[in-house]
Amino acid sequence: MRKVMVRNERMGNRRGKLKVFLGMFAMMFMVFAGNLPVSAAGSRDFNKTKTVSISDSEAHMVSGKFTWIKYKAPKNGYITVAAEFGSRKYNRSEGYWRLYASNKKTALSEKNIPYSVGVYNTGSKHARQSIFGVKKGTTYYLRVQAYDGVRISCKFKEVKEKCGNKRSKAPVLKKNKSVTGLILPKDKNKDWYKIRIKKAQYIQLFYDIKSDGKFKISFCSIIGSKLQSGKFGYTSSARRLVMKQHNSVTNKNSKINAGTYYIKVEPVNKYSSGYYRLRWE
C-alpha cells in the first residue's frame, strides 16, 4: 500500500514539474516572439523592393483596408507603376490606385485610376500602368484599393531638363536638337523654349510624352500670344506636330514667317504629371 502511495506521489511531482516547465517555456516563447519584426499588412515601400505583393486576404475587398506603398524619389524624374497578375484564388487582378503626398491626404493624381490584369481580360482598356512625375527627396504614397491579390512594380527614370519657367528666360531650341522636360503634380509652372527662324518655313516638332494625363503644347509669337496649340497624352513613340500659319480670311495655311517664336508646355490640369521630349526638325 505504501509503495503505491509513494509511486503516485512521485508521478504527481513529475506532472507538476512538467506543467511548470511548459509554463516557463510558453512565457519565454511569447517574450521571444514579441521581439520578432512584424510585417504590417497595409505598409509597403518601393525603395526597399521594386515589386510589392498584395495577397488575396490583404485585398481591400476582404480586409476593408487600403494598402499604402511608400516611395521617396532619389532624383527628379518619373515613375512607372505597373500591375501584374497576383491572385491565387481568381483568374484576374483588379482594383484602383491613386498617388498621394507624404501626408496621405493630398491627392496628386486623378481619382481611382483603375487597373485590370489577368487571364480573361487580355484586351481590357483599364490601365495596367500609370506614370507620375516625382521630385528629388520628396516622399509619395500610392494608395491601392485591391479587389484581388496583385503584384505592383515601380520603375524610376531620371529626367534632366533645361527650360525656362518664364518666356523671358526661355533657352533656345536649335534645329535637329532635342530637349526633355518634367511636369510635377500640381505644378503651376510653364516650360518655355525659344525658336529662331531665318526664313519662312513649316516647323516640324516631334513630341514624345510619358504621362497618365495630358500636356498642352502651344506655339506662340514673340510677344507670347498663342498661334497654335493642342492637348496631347501618352505616346509609345515620337509623333509629329506641324506648326503653320493660318489665315482666317482665306482659311488657308502658309509657312511661318522668319522671326523669333516660343514653344510653351504646360499640364492640362493639376493632376497631369510626367515626362516629355521635344525635337525640332
Please indicate, yes or no, whether residues 66 and 47 belong to a single structural domain of this protein: yes
Please indicate, yes or no, whether residues 201 and 246 belong to a single structural domain of this protein: yes
> Number of folded domains in the chain?
2
Q: Is residue 242 part of a domain?
A: yes
SS3 196: strand
**158/136 Cα distance (integer angstroms):** 10
CATH number at residue 233: 2.60.120.380
Please indicate, yes or no, whether residues 251 and 204 belong to a single structural domain of this protein: yes
User: Which of 112, 139, 158 is the last residue before a domain boundary?
Assistant: 158
Residue by residue, what is the 3-state secondary structure of 16-83?
HHHHHHHHHHHHHHHHHHHCCCCCCCCEEECCCCCEEEECCCCCHHHHCCCEEEEEECCCCEEEEEEE
Q: Is residue 76 part of a domain?
A: yes
Q: Is residue 266 part of a domain?
A: yes
Please indicate, yes or no, whether residues 97 and 147 belong to a single structural domain of this protein: yes
User: Which of 95, 126, 158 is the last residue before a domain boundary?
Assistant: 158
**Confidence at residue 2, expressed as pLDDT on a 0 to 100 scale:** 42
Please indicate, yes or no, whether residues 152 and 197 belong to a single structural domain of this protein: no
- Give mean pLDDT in consecutive 10-residue pieces for the chain, a chain of 281 residues: 44 47 43 37 83 94 94 98 88 93 96 82 63 98 95 96 93 95 94 96 96 95 92 95 83 90 96 97 90
**73/76 Cα distance (integer angstroms):** 7
Structural domain of 142: 43-158
Please indicate, yes or no, whether residues 154 and 49 belong to a single structural domain of this protein: yes
User: Which of 108, 138, 158 is the last residue before a domain boundary?
Assistant: 158
Q: Is residue 151 part of a domain?
A: yes
Query: What is the distance between the terminal CA atoms of the chain, rounded to a whole angstrom?
Result: 112
**Confidence at residue 81, expressed as pLDDT on a 0 to 100 scale:** 97
Q: Is residue 122 part of a domain?
A: yes
**149/87 Cα distance (integer angstroms):** 4
Q: Are strands 67-72 and 113-118 parallel, antiparallel or unpaired?
A: unpaired
Q: Is residue 26 part of a domain?
A: no
With beta carbons less than 8 A apart as the criterion, state whether 196 and 172 touch.
Answer: yes
**Confidence at residue 42, expressed as pLDDT on a 0 to 100 scale:** 54
The CA distances from residue 61 to 56, 105, 146, 238, in Å, are 9, 22, 7, 40
Angle at 244 between CA 243 and CA 249, to 5 degrees: 150
User: Is 0.75 topped by the overall pTM?
Assistant: yes
Q: Is residue 101 part of a domain?
A: yes
**Confidence at residue 204, expressed as pLDDT on a 0 to 100 scale:** 94
